[in-house]
Structures are given as C-alpha cells and as structure tokens.
Amino acid sequence: MIHQCQPEIHVLTPKGEGHALFLIDYGPMINTVWLVHLFSTGDVLHFDSSDVRVYGNKMYGIDDPCPKKSFRKQ
C-alpha cells in the first residue's frame, strides 16, 4: 500500500530534516518505508521507519524529538 501524506509530515532522518511525501507499506513482515524530500540537498530518499523521527506539535503539547545518537554528525 502507498499512502500520500497530505499535508507532508516534517521529519528528522539520519541525512537531515525533510518532509515525508509518501509512506510505503509492504506488509507485516517488513518495516514501513518513508519517502522523504530533504531540505538541505533537495534529494528524495527512502528511509526505514526505525530511522525516522516525526516532529512534535506545540499546539498539542508534543515536544520535538531528540535526535538519536546515530543521527548526530561525527
């Protein structure tokens, strides 16, 4: 199944911030894949769901996520 995100979802990935455009679900045995447009480069890349963090919503009291240690530049 492919789901188009409308509006796009602001996310943090190992490659930086971007907007999730589509979610691709191949079934229960495989993680969902996020198709993300990166702000810094304009690239459109696929990310496994375990590598994506969704930004918070201050209106509902949901804080932004803290980057995982592996997301930080070394």
pLDDT in tens, 7-53: 899 999 999 999 999 999 999 999 999 999 999 999 999 999 999 99
Which tokens belong to 40? Answer: 């810094």
- Listed by start position, the domains of the chain span 2-56
The pTM of the whole model exceeds 0.85:
no
Average pLDDT over residues 50-71: 74
**Binning pLDDT at 50, 70 and 90, where does residue 64 land?**
confident
1 half-sphere exposure, CB direction, 13 A CA radius: 7
Distance CA 36, CA 28 (A): 21
